[in-house]
Structure 1
Amino acid sequence: MAIVDAWMQHPTLRHSNHEMFESLRRWTGMALLEEELPVKATVAALAAGDVEIGLASAWYGPEGALVSNDEVAGFVAQAEGRLRGVAGADLTKPVAAVRELRRAVEELGFVALRVVPWLWQLPPTDRLYYPLYAACVDLGVPFCTQVGHTGPLRPSETGRPIPYIDQVALDFPELTIVCGHIGYPWTTEMIAVADKHANVYIDTSAYTARRYPRELVEYLRGRGRKKVLFGSNYPMITPARALEHLGELGLDAKATELFLSGNARRVFKL
C-alpha cells in the first residue's frame, strides 16, 4: 500500500545539529552530522518504508530559518516526485510571513503551513499566528502544528490541545488543523478536540506504532478512523521503523488505508 508521511523533514546541518535536539540524539543514538544529508538518502528511506509522498517541512524559529522554504523547494526538486513542500514562517513579522506563505503555496507549490509552538515558546492562540490562519483558509491549505510534551529541550506547555487547539478551531472553523505528535500525555484531550471540531486531525509522528497510546489505537479502530494520519518525524524515526508493528494494532483494511494514505490525501488535497 502506498503511504503518505504527513510529518517529516529533510534536515540541514543548522537543523539537525541544533543544541535543542540533544535530548533526541541521546534517545535515538544519532550522532551530529558532519556533512549535509543528501536528498537521495531521504528518498531511499521513504522508498524503504513504502512511502509514496513525504510532506517535507521548513523550520523557522526566533533565530531564523533552520530549513528555509527555498531549501525545501530545492529538496522537492531533487526527490523524484516523492516529496511535497510544507511552508514555515517567521511569526515575528506577520505581514511578511503571510506574503511568504502565499509565495510558498502559489509559486513553490507547497501544500500546507507548519509552525512548531515550542520553538517560538508561543502557544497557537498567540495573536502573531492569526494572520497566518486567515491566509491558510484563504489559500485552502492546512495548518500543521505540534501537540503534546516537547522532546527537544524546550518547555512543553505550548503543546496542550486544550485550551490552545480548541480555541483556534473555535476562532477559525474553516481552518484545517493537523496536530502532530499525538498529544501525549494529553492524548485524551487531543481526541476530544478532534471529535469536537470537524477540521481537526491528529498525526502520529515521533512515535512508533508499538508506542501509540491505547486510547489512540481504540480511536483509530473506531470513530477516529477518518481523523488520524500517519507521520514518522523522519529522520528521527524512519517510516519503516515507525510502522514495523502496525499489524499488532488490530486495524481492519479500511482503517489501515485511511490511516496510511487516504486521510492525508484528502486533508492535503494530494
Structure 2
Amino acid sequence: MIVDAWMQHGTVRFLNHGMLDSLWRWTGQKPPEEQPPVSATVAAMDAGGVDVGLISAWYGPEGDLVSNDEVASFAAEAPGRLRGIASVDLRKPMEAVRELRRCVTELGFAGLRVVPWLWELPPTDRRYYPLFAACVELGVPFCTQVGHTGPLRPSETGRPIPYIDQVALDFPELVIVGGHIGYPWTEEMVAVCRKHPNVYIDTSAYTVRRYPPELVRYMTQDRHHKVMFGTNFPMITPERALRGLDDLGLDDVRREAFLSGNAVRVFALDRS
C-alpha cells in the first residue's frame, strides 16, 4: 500500500495563480485552462502505484483557491482513493475553528493544512493557536510547509527552528506534519522530529533522487523514522517522485513506514 500525504486536485483559479509560475517553469509544464477531471488524478495515482491520496484545500488572504467543499466533491468522485485535508481563513479564528470542525465531522476530512508563506505568518502566530487546540480535540494532524518556498514568497516562515519546535513545545499532544522536507534546513527538521514524538516529515515536492543526505540517513538508520511519502501533485507525479526508491536502501520495516504506515497512523486511515 502507498499513501500520498500531500496532493492537490486543483481548481483552474489555483493552478493558474501567479504565485505558481515558478513551479510550472521548473517542471516544464503549463497550467491547465480547464478544470482537470478527477479521473486524471486517479490515473496518475494508478501509474505510480498510489492507493490513497490526501488532497488539500487552499485558503489564503485573498480567499479560497480550492475550497473545502470543492475538495469534498472531488473526494466523493473517488471514494476510498481520495481524502480531504481542510484549510481555513486565519484572519477569523472562531470561524476557522467552526469550519475545521465541519470539515472533520461532516465532510470526513483527515486533517488541517495551513501554508504559512501564503499568509506570511509563521505557525507561532497567535491566530493558529485556537486551531491547534481544535486539532487535538478532533484527533487530526496539523499539516504545514517547512523549508524554502518554491513560489515567489518569503521563506522565513518555513523554518523548523524556532517555529515547529515552539509549537510542539506549546502543544505536545498536537500531531504536526512538516511537508516539503524542510530544505535547506532539513537537519533542523530531522532534529525537531527526533525531539518531539508527534512531529513528522513528508517528502512532498521532492523526488527520491533529490532527498537530502541527512534525510536519507534518518530514514535508513532509525528503525522507527517518522517520514511519510508525498508528491505535491500535480507538480510532481507519483511515478516520478518514487523513481529510484530501491536505491534508498530501506529495509522492509522502514519502507513500509515511509510508504504507508506512518500516514495510516497519523491520518487514522485504518479507521476511515
Q: Shorter chain as normaliser: what TM range?
A: over 0.9
Which ranges of structure 2 fall in alignment gaps of 5 or more residues? none
Look up the match of 1:58: 57
Which ranges of structure 1 fall in alignment gaps of 5 or more residues? none
TM superposition shift of 1:254: 1.2
Whether the 8 Å CA contact 1:219–1:225 is kept in 2: the answer is: no
Look up the match of 2:195: 196
SS of residue in 1 equivalent to 2:3: strand
SS of residue in 2 equivalent to 1:11: coil
Structure 2: which amino acid aligns with 1:35?
E
Structure 1: which amino acid aligns with 2:202?
D
Look up the match of 2:131: 132
- Distance in 1, Cα, partners of 2:223 & 2:237: 24
Q: How does 1:45-194 map to 2 (within 5 A)?
A: 45-194=44-193
SS of residue in 1 equivalent to 2:107: coil
- Distance in 1, Cα, partners of 2:60 & 2:183: 23
- Distance in 2, Cα, partners of 1:109 & 1:209: 31
Look up the match of 1:229: 228
Structure 2: which amino acid aligns with 1:88?
S
TM superposition shift of 1:21: 0.6
- Distance in 1, Cα, partners of 2:131 & 2:232: 23
Structure 1: which amino acid aligns with 2:192?
V
TM superposition shift of 1:222: 1.6
- Distance in 2, Cα, partners of 1:59 & 1:224: 34
TM superposition shift of 1:123: 0.3
Which portions of structure 1, spanning 4 or more consecutive aligned residues, are displaced by more than 2 angstroms? none
Whether the 8 Å CA contact 2:88–2:100 is kept in 1: the answer is: yes
TM superposition shift of 1:33: 1.1
Look up the match of 2:237: 238
Structure 1: which amino acid aligns with 2:258?
F
Whether the 8 Å CA contact 2:3–2:52 is kept in 1: the answer is: yes
Look up the match of 1:255: 254
- CA deviations on 1:113-135 (whole Å, 9 max, x unpaired) are 00000000000000010000000
RMSD value, Cα? 0.8
- Distance in 2, Cα, partners of 1:226 & 1:136: 23
